[in-house]
Amino acid sequence: MMKKPLSKLAVPLLALPRTAKRLIAISVDLCLCILSVWLAFYLRLGDFVYLSGNTLLAALASVGIALPIFVTSGLYRAIFRYSGLPALLTVARAVAIYGLIYACVFTAVGIPEVPRTIGIIQPILLLLAIGTSRAVAHAWFGGQYQSIVKRGKRPKVLIYGAGQTGRQLATAMTNSVEMAVIGFIDDDERLHGHVLNGMPIYNPGDLPSLVPTLNIDTVLLAMPGIGRKRRNEILAEIRTAHVSVRTLPSMTDLAQGKLSISDLRDLDIDDLLGREPVSPNHILLIKNVKDKVVLVTGAGGSIGSELCRQILAIGPEKLLLIEQSEFALYAIHQELETKLAGRDIKLVPLLAAVQERNRMREIMGAWKPHTVYHAAAYKHVPLVEHNPAAGIKNNVLGTLTTAQAAADHGVADFVLISTDKAVRPTNIMGASKRMAEMVLQALAAVTTSTRFTMVRFGNVLGSSGSVVPKFRQQIRDGGPITLTHPDITRYFMTIPEAAQLVIQAGAMAGSGGNVFVLDMGQPVKIIDLARRMIELSGLSLKDEKHPEGDIDIQITSLRPGEKLYEELLIGDNPMPTQHQRIMKAREDFIAWSELQPKLAKLEAALDANDVGVIRAMMLQLVSGYAPHEHIVDWVYLEQGTAGLEECVLHGAA
Q: Which of 238, 307, 313 is nearest to 535 (CA)?
A: 238
Q: Is 425 within 8 Å of 625 (Cβ atoms)?
A: yes
Residue 255 confidence (pLDDT): 42
Residue 299 confidence (pLDDT): 96
Q: Across the 653 residues of the chain, what is the mean pLDDT of every consecutive 10-residue run?
A: 46 60 80 86 81 83 85 67 61 85 84 84 85 71 49 76 84 74 89 87 89 87 76 80 74 45 56 64 92 97 94 96 97 94 92 96 97 95 93 97 96 94 91 96 92 87 70 85 87 83 87 81 82 77 83 85 70 77 84 95 94 93 88 87 51 45
Question: In 3-state terms, what secondary structure has residue 513?
Answer: coil
Burial of 440 (0-12, 13-18, 19+ CB in 10 A): buried
| Single-letter code of the amino acid located at 450 | T
CA distance 32 to 116: 20
| Mode of pairing for the β-strands spanning 524-525 and 489-490 | antiparallel
Residue 95 confidence (pLDDT): 84
Q: In three state form, how does the secondary structure of 564-598 look?
A: CCCCCCCCCCCEECCCCCEEEECCCCCCHHHHHHH
Task: Name residues whose C-beta falls within 8 Å of residue 236's C-beta, 6 or more positions apart in sequence.
Answer: none
Residue 1 confidence (pLDDT): 41
Quick one: DSSP state of residue 278? P
Residue 325, H or E segment: none
CA distance 444 to 514: 9
CA distance 285 to 609: 42
Active site residues: 421
Angle ∠(405,428,641) on CA atoms, nearest 5: 120
| Mode of pairing for the β-strands spanning 371-374 and 413-419 | parallel
Residue 162 confidence (pLDDT): 87
Within 13 Å of residue 28, how many CA atoms lie on the same side as its CB?
A: 17
| Single-letter code of the amino acid located at 627 | P
Residue 148 confidence (pLDDT): 47
The CB density around residue 27, as the number of other CB atoms within 10 Å, is: 10
Task: Name residues whose C-beta falls within 8 Å of residue 373's C-beta, 6 or more positions apart in sequence.
Answer: 294, 295, 296, 297, 304, 307, 311, 415, 417, 502, 503, 506
Residue 267 confidence (pLDDT): 60
Q: What is the pTM of this model?
A: 0.68
Residue 512 confidence (pLDDT): 75
Q: Is 385 within 8 Å of 628 (Cβ atoms)?
A: yes
